[in-house]
A and B are shown apart, each in its own frame.
Chain A
Amino acid sequence: MSMVLLTLLRTKFVQYLGRVRRSKLSLFSLLAIYLSWMGIISFSSLFLRLSGGILGVPVNEYVETLIVLTVSSILAIGAFLGSKGGITALGYELDYVLTSRVAPATFLISDLVFQLVLLNIFIVPSSLIIIITISYPGQLVNPVVLLAVYELSIVMSSMTAHLLGVARHWLGEMRAKAIGWSITLLMALPMIVRIIGVQPMFLKTIHPSYLLGLLVDGRADPQAIFLLTLYLAFLVAAYVKAAKTNFYASVTPVLLSALMEPPKKLPRYLRLPILSDALFSIRPGDRPSIMMFKLHLTRIVRDGSLWTAILILMIFTAANMALPRLLRIESFPEVAQLTLVALYTPLFPALLSINWCVSERQNLWIVDTTASGRKNYLSGLFYAYFMVTVVFSSCLYGFVSIGAREVPFLEIDIALLLAMSIFSVLFSIFTSFRLRRAPTPFSISSLLYVLIPMLGSILLSLPILVVRLFEPLASDPTPQLLANISIFIAIVSIVFYRVLMRSLSRGLPDTMGV
């Protein structure tokens, strides 16, 4: 079994990191992206610490809350992935491993190890950076105990995901999904109660996140340890039973459907007849540019991108409501608000471009084999992304402003919103066309799809962001200032748009994997 297990594991990693093996440059880029991600985490932690420091909130309260919330997130992620299938079966495994004589237990354990390694890479260093940055220079927690607690929660998370995957075999897909969503909700309860602003005491005595949190600060009483042992024992017992089950027929390729790939069944649930059919459906009389615009909007509505964008909007609005409570302040300082909105806006086109890569990139041959080429296709893509981004970021801006009890939409905010939307859309299109291949879910390289639009649009919008920070310029700008800002946005947008369209319209078929 051990030899087979090792072979399965080795092949899985080789397949997953296949691109890195192509050249030393690929390895270097991967490391650079990972380090950039760590940089962002460090910056955010520093920001969190400084905000708390200024307002005089005790640091240990932060740390305690953060540990509970990160552990709660880890457990919720496991349950969420479990509701999507839980077992990370790659395409070749579905075709060749699951149809071979490899025992289900062997496959399950190899996947458990695979998930543990991946989750460790993504979660542990970033979580430790946050805690260390916030608690420095005082040693508020024992790093070894903290590490052990994170490892334990990762193991629990992966086992939960697997169990929910195997539960599809035992109970059927719908029931397993319902259980998966219920557990996700239960695991996310510590976050939800924070957002609502209530603190039910009973949760602190029974919820695994709080119990694990108690272990870190050494306050775990025998009852807490007993309960935690009970949870673990239940998980292990269920896992042993799962490993003895032949669940192969219920396995779905979770890596391809959990996060990135648009949910294929969504059209059934999210066909908006009025929107997509009456307004955006392609008609014989459409001009080519209008037709392309409609094509992209139809895709966004039908492939699930719209639903995911709504989900992201809800999550970030909730996060914005929760964070001030975490920091024990009424609302964010204006700078903090702006930073968050500036960071959020590019996420919408980034998400759209990731989904474009997954579901549409391979269809480029259709426009590449026509005489008009990509010109109309690209302009349609830009306007469709822009429309979605501006609508969603306006909603986000509105919610944030209302949440902060500020008059929504100062004139300068509209300019900032417009600039961030245009620039991030252009950077997203650039990223998705210039990167050779579609991002794979959970791959570190997929961060590029977020990082490039985010950093690029913040950089180009910097002059407006700076003006936004200074009073009374921000709340009462002179007409001349507004005119200058408008001219700046117009010039940069037009130049960037033209350069981008010209460079991407030129045939790049060799690079698009058609």
Chain B
Amino acid sequence: MKDSVVYVDNLCKSYDGRPAVSGLCLEVSAGEIHGLIGLNGAGKTTTIKCIVGLLRPDSGVVRVLGREVSTDSSYKSFVGYLPENPSLPEYLTVKEFLLFMAKIKGLNSRRAASETEDKLALFDLTEFSDQLIFGLSRGMKQRLAIAAAVINDPAVLILDEPFSGLDPEAQRVTKQIMREIAARGGAVLISTHILDAAERFCNRATIIHKGRSVARGTIDDLKRFAGLSTEAPLEDAFIRIVTG
């Protein structure tokens, strides 16, 4: 817990009396790309929303960078977040949106302008910079949402199903950014269904089932936990763990 960038202990959250997450535990350390893996409805998005401050937990502890999220929102300055289905202000142009994001993330005017230009170039959005978001395709909107999530070079990057609708080139750029954040001592928490991709770029993972964390550790740990060899695919381990 001492070195945890993201620390979640005994998290509980219900919707209208129906528990979505009950007693979930999760730890993401510095320098780590951590996968959050689970079936549909397992509680991944609810957990992520509690961490980024979009949902108020019913009980439990959620800390990011050592700060209690329910009482101290200063941690948000260091976090980049991508929702599962990001809704964007479609009336803004691509460039206006990135500039807006840079400013609300607290960057000064010079850095806001330079980061905007950098991210436009990095995500191949320069030619669309003066186009309204409304006119972009789904994949381009996803690119833009990821660019916005990393506009402030966050220390903690939290991505909820980032690869849906993303073309291979944008996936490569996103993975590269994730590795860079981890390499400089930050942390990445990523929820994904794509297990073979998770197997390749996550150092550690937590498997969630019915609102509880049922297994945690390195990818090899999870395979061993499922009674499989480290050569077996993560998918087999996952299925074995969630089906008991």
Q: Do A and B bind each other?
A: yes
Given contacts A284-B99, A369-B53, A514-B49, 5 further A-B contacts (CB under 8 A): A267-B134, A362-B87, A363-B88, A365-B54, A371-B74
* B138 CB-CB contact with A under 8 Å: no
Q: For residue A137, which residues in chain B have a CB less than 8 angstroms away from its CB? A: none
Residue interface mask A135-159, B partner, CB < 8 A = 1: 0000000000000000000000000
Are A371 and B99 CB-contacts (below 8 A) given A285-B109, A303-B91? Answer: no
In the complex, whether A509 has a CB less than 8 A from a CB of chain B is yes
Q: Taking beta carbons and an 8 Å cutoff, which residues of A are in contact with B?
A: 264, 267, 281-286, 288, 291, 295, 298-299, 302-303, 359-360, 362-363, 365-373, 507, 509-510, 514
**Residue interface mask B73-92, A partner, CB < 8 A = 1:** 11111010101001111111
Closest residue of chain A to B74 (Cβ to Cβ) is: A371
A-B interface, 7 closest residue pairs, ranked by CB to CB distance from nearest: A284-B109, A302-B91, A362-B87, A284-B113, A371-B76, A285-B109, A371-B77
**Given known contacts A267-B132, A371-B76, is B99 in contact with A282 (CB within 8 Å)?**
yes
List the A side residues contacting B113 at CB < 8 Å: 284
Q: In the complex the two chains form, what is the Cα distance from A371 to B72 in whole Å?
A: 9
Query: Taking the complex as formed, is B175 at the interface, i.e. its CB lies under 8 A from any CB of chain A?
Result: no
Contacts A264-B134, A281-B96, A509-B53; A373 near B91 (Cβ below 8 A): no
| Partner-binding segment picked from B32-40, B100-108, B162-170, B235-243 | B100-108
User: Are the C-beta atoms of A369 and B54 separated by less than 8 Å?
Assistant: yes
- How far does the Cβ of A359 sit from chain B's closest Cβ, in whole Å? 7
Whether A291 lies near B53 (C-beta < 8 A) is: no
In the complex with contacts A264-B134, A282-B99, A509-B56 CB distance below 8 A: yes
Q: Is B112 an interface residue (CB 8 A)?
A: yes
- Min CB distance, A337 to chain B, in Å? 36
B55 proximal to A (CB < 8 A):
yes
B110 within 8 A of A: yes
A284 and B74 in contact, given A267-B91, A299-B89 (Cβ under 8 angstroms): no
Q: Closest residue to A264 on the B side, CB-wise?
A: B134
Give every chain B residue within 8 A of A282 (Cβ-Cβ): 92, 96, 99-100, 103
CB distance from A302 to the nearest CB of B (A): 4
Q: Assuming the A-B contacts A281-B96, A284-B113, A299-B89, are A370 and B134 also in contact, with contact meaning beta carbons closer than 8 angstroms in the complex? A: no
Partner of B104 from A284, A299, A362, A366 at Cβ < 8 Å:
A366
- With a cutoff of 8 Å between Cβ atoms, the chain A residues found around residue B77 in the complex are 370-371
Q: Can you pick out 24 interface pairs between chain A and chain B where the beta carbons lie within 8 Å of each other?
A: A282-B96, A284-B116, A285-B109, A288-B103, A288-B104, A291-B103, A291-B104, A295-B92, A298-B91, A298-B92, A299-B89, A302-B91, A363-B87, A363-B88, A365-B83, A366-B101, A366-B104, A369-B52, A369-B53, A369-B54, A370-B106, A371-B76, A372-B104, A514-B83
- A372 near B106: Cβ-Cβ < 8 Å: yes
Interface residues contributed by chain B, number (CB under 8 Å): 37
B residues within 8 A CB of A295?
A: 89, 92, 100
- Flag if A363 contacts B89 (CB, 8 Å): yes
Q: How far is the CA of A284 from the CA of B101 in the complex (A)?
A: 11
Q: Is the CB–CB distance between A368 and B88 below 8 Å?
A: no
Task: Give which listed residue, A284, A359, A371, A514, contacts B103 with CB less than 8 A.
Answer: A284
CA distance A295 to B97 in the complex (A): 10
Contact digits for B175-198, partner A, Cβ 8 Å, 1 yes 0 no:
000000000000000000000000
CA distance A302 to B131 in the complex (A): 13
CA distance A267 to B101 in the complex (A): 22
Q: Please judge, given known A-B contacts A267-B132, A295-B100, A363-B87, whether A370 and B110 are in contact too, CB under 8 Å.
A: no
Complex CA gap A284/B99 in Å reads: 7
Cβ-defined contact, A507 with B53, below 8 A: yes
**Cβ contacts under 8 Å, A285 to chain B:** 109
Q: Are A373 and B100 in contact (CB under 8 A)?
A: no
Shortest CB-to-CB span from A261 to chain B, Å, is 12
- A368 close to B54 (CB less than 8 A): yes
CB of A510 within 8 A of CB of B81, answer no
Partner among A291, A302, A510 whose Cβ is within 8 Å of the Cβ of B100:
A291
A291 to B110, CA, bound (A): 15
Q: Which residues of A contact B75 (CB under 8 A)?
A: 371
CB distance from A23 to the nearest CB of B (A): 11
Cβ of A369 and Cβ of B79 under 8 Å apart?
yes
Q: Chain B residues with Cβ under 8 A from A371's Cβ?
A: 73-77, 106
Q: Which residue of A lies closest to B105 (CB)?
A: A370
| Neighbouring B residues of A298 by C-beta, 8 Å | 91-92, 96
What B residues does A514 contact at CB under 8 A? Answer: 49, 54, 83
What residue of chain A has the Cβ atom nearest to residue B95's Cβ?
A282
Nearest-CB distance from A372 to chain B (Å)?
7
CA distance A288 to B77 in the complex (A): 15
